[in-house]
Amino acid sequence: MFKCNYTEINDQSPIPLVRLQLKNIDNCSSVIEKDGILDTGADCTLIPFSTIAKLQPKSLIRGRHNQIIYGVGNSKIITVPYRILMSFDQENFIKIKVYACPDDDTNGLIILGRNFLNRYRITFDGKAKLFIIE
């Protein structure tokens, strides 16, 4: 069980933010730490291009074909899919498909979508400003 308090960023409303550990599947020796927002409204997990550049995983598509997904307000986001290892407890890494996108599209944070969140039981307690991941 992992228990965490909500985080306030730039004087905005508190958000469920968790510190993540990321690894390249082919080269697991180095770990990158990055913050991620638990977003139950997102279908997929988005990761900034700058973070993918540090991990250097192999793209899941060949050539220069980008994929377009639609975000808030039906805005187009140009992405490239990758498969990486991700953990929030520094021990239990899972293999997950992520979509790299411009840093500005996520404010430099990782957006954890349902393809990650559905692997866990998550309890959000907005009144107490905390969440529990089991």
Give φ, ψ of 114 to 5 degrees. Answer: -65, -25
Q: What is the pLDDT of residue 89?
A: 87
pLDDT value at residue 59: 78
Helices (H), 35-95: 49-55
The answer on pLDDT for 41 being more than 80 is: yes
Q: What values do phi and psi take at 75, rounded to 5?
A: -75, 140
Per-residue confidence (pLDDT) for residue 69, from 0 to 100: 65
Average pLDDT over residues 24-46: 90
Alpha-carbon Rg for the chain, nearest whole angstrom, is 15
Element (H, E) at 34: strand 32-38
pLDDT the model gives residue 118: 94
pLDDT of residue 38: 95
Backbone φ and ψ of 45, nearest 5°: -95, 130
| Whether pLDDT at 63 is above 70 | no
67-116 pLDDT, tens per residue? 666 666 566 677 789 999 999 888 889 999 999 988 988 889 999 999 99
Tens of pLDDT, residue by residue over 1-29, are: 889 999 987 777 889 999 999 999 988 77
- Cα–Cα distance between 46 and 128 in angstroms, integer? 27
Mean per-residue pLDDT, 31-52: 93
